[in-house]
Every structure is written in structure tokens, then in C-alpha cells.
Amino acid sequence: MPRISEFFGIVIAMYYNDHAPPHFHARYAGHEATFRLDTFAVLEGSLPRRAAGLVVEWAESHRVELADDWDLARAGQPLNRIAPLE
């Protein structure tokens, strides 16, 4: 699972050839959640509230880059790193 960003102990990743709808995975302190790219709603899993809020804040500011990485992953191409939340 290629890591595309890391911040505050949260790891953001995407799988190649993953299922629809477009989404990304976030891991933090033994928790994992999958977030939709269009709404940033949690598809499955969970994160602590504060970590989930940071993930959504980060994703909102990198919406285009996330969509680009989803397209790259579907095409089997190397993913681009995305700047962390600061």
C-alpha cells in the first residue's frame, strides 16, 4: 500500500487497482478508516475523532491531488506524495 502522506502519526495511503468508489486509507494508532474522495465520509473503519478531523482537513485542501493519485493508482502508475498537514 503506497503511502502518499504522513502527518501527526497519521499515515495516508492508496491501494493500486482498489475498488470503487474512489477513496483513500488512513491509519492512526492501531485504527484504520477508508474515506471517500468526493465527500470525505468514512466508508468503513474508524479513527479517533481528532485524527478523523485532521484527515478531513488535510483531504479538503488536497482534493485535486487525491483525485490525481486515484487515477494514477487505477492506471498502475507511481503515486505522487502529497504534502502533510502542518
d(CA 76, CA 51): 29
Model-level pTM?
0.95
- Residue matched to cell numbers 482498489: 18
- Quote the CA–CA distance of 22 and 85 in Å, as a whole number: 21
Upper half-sphere CA count for residue 67 (Cβ side, 13 Å): 8
* pLDDT tens for each residue of 33-83: 999 999 999 999 999 999 999 999 999 999 999 999 999 999 999 999 999
Which residue type does 9 have?
G
